[in-house]
Amino acid sequence: MGIFILYQTDKWKSKASRICFGIFDSRIKAMESAKWNDLYSYNCEVVIIELTINEFEEI
């Protein structure tokens, strides 16, 4: 079982520019939230990362 973290970042997808907008239990809910909050734009990207629960790793 995993969780999905929703980020907005610049168009080059650098880690320094990531802004976390939420943690969700499904990719569909994360995508709907990004659309609802108008996170998609011409100069930024939306990134959804899947993480496994109870696992130690770098994000």
**Helices first, then strands: H and E counts in the chain:** 1, 3
- Could you count the other beta carbons within 10 Å of the beta carbon of residue 25? 11
Determine the Cα–Cα distance for residues 35 and 8; give it in Å rounded to an integer: 12
Contact (CB, 8 A) for 44 and 9: yes
Q: So where are the chain's domains?
A: 2-52
Q: Is the pLDDT of residue 49 over 80?
A: yes
How do residues 15-29 score in pLDDT, each as one tens digit? Answer: 899 999 999 999 999
- pLDDT value, residue 29: 97
Provide φ and ψ at 28, rounded to 5°. -65, -45
Using pLDDT thresholds of 50, 70 and 90, give the confidence band for residue 13: confident
Amino acid at 56: F
